[in-house]
Amino acid sequence: MKLANKTAIVTGGGKGIGKEIALALAHEGADVLVAARQSDVLEQTTSEIQALGRRSLFCVTDVSDESQVEKMVNTALDSFGHIDILVNNAGVTGPTAAITNVTRDSWDEVMAINLTGAFLCARAVVPHMIARGSGKIVNISSIAGKMAYALRSPYAASKWGMLGLSCTLAQELGPYNIQVNAICPGPTAGERMTGVIAGRAKEMGRSVEEVERMYVEGTALKRMVDPKHVAAAVVFLCSTDSDSITGEALEVSGGFGL
């Protein structure tokens, strides 16, 4: 197993891409703490990880809250003794609207969770990784962090910001043998993408089917991304196979926008 004797924190690990990431890490031998704002989905993910024979626990956490992030990290340390891997996956989609209709509150919420949350989590775990002389941080950005994304300004700005954060931390933490990378999923099958499509269809006055085709036709592979493929990329970036890779933004997008 590629991650035997490793421990990980996965934020937003209760469902969707985050759950697939947590399960994939556990499948490769890691013990995993999953965090999110809803306890019911966390309980399910934790049970599935334990069924794989790995240690797992959950911590209800709002990553935009500094004190809750500190509690999450301390819970992982108390349970596992150390932290090898941090996956910053927690995020919200935010509004689908022209900028003139985006409220300050909705802008602030997206930034607080998607970007500030990643900063707070990284800041909390880095001292422990430095003390051990190694670590892996993977930030789940988006293909929207590499392109214009009309009607999704808060989301796109937060995902572009995650790439800047990733590159800067990679340079800053490299001397301590800590690799920091980002993954940029494209349109990924699941509940969240279904909601995004519905919101865009409503805003554009088009059918859901038409908007879904727009996303699919925008990919080279002509299909949605499988969340398990995103998880597989995370496993790679958390393994020793990627020890000489840092500051990169890996697209798992089905060739979106080529």
Question: What is the C-alpha to C-alpha distance for residues 70 and 155, in angstroms, rounded to an integer?
Answer: 25
Q: What gap in Å lies between CA 49 and CA 37, rounded to an integer?
A: 19
Tell which CATH architecture fits domain 7-186+226-252: 3-Layer(aba) Sandwich (3.40)
Distances (CA, A) of 30 to 26, 61, 160: 5, 21, 29
**Cα(76)–Cα(58) distance, integer angstroms:** 9
Single out the residue of 180, 106, 95 nearest to residue 138, CA to CA.
Answer: 180
Please identify every residue annotated as catalytic.
155
pLDDT (tens place) for every residue of the chain, 258 residues total: 999 999 999 999 999 999 999 999 999 999 999 999 999 999 999 999 999 999 999 999 999 999 999 999 999 999 999 999 999 999 999 999 999 999 999 999 999 999 999 999 999 999 999 999 999 999 999 999 999 999 999 999 999 999 999 999 999 999 999 999 999 999 999 999 999 999 999 999 999 999 999 999 999 999 999 999 999 999 999 999 999 999 999 999 999 999
Q: Rounded to whole angstroms, how far apart are CA atoms 12 and 155?
A: 16
Give the helix/strand (H/E) hosting 127.
Answer: helix 117-132
Overall size of the chain counted in residues: 258
The full set of domain ranges for the chain reads 7-186+226-252, 188-224
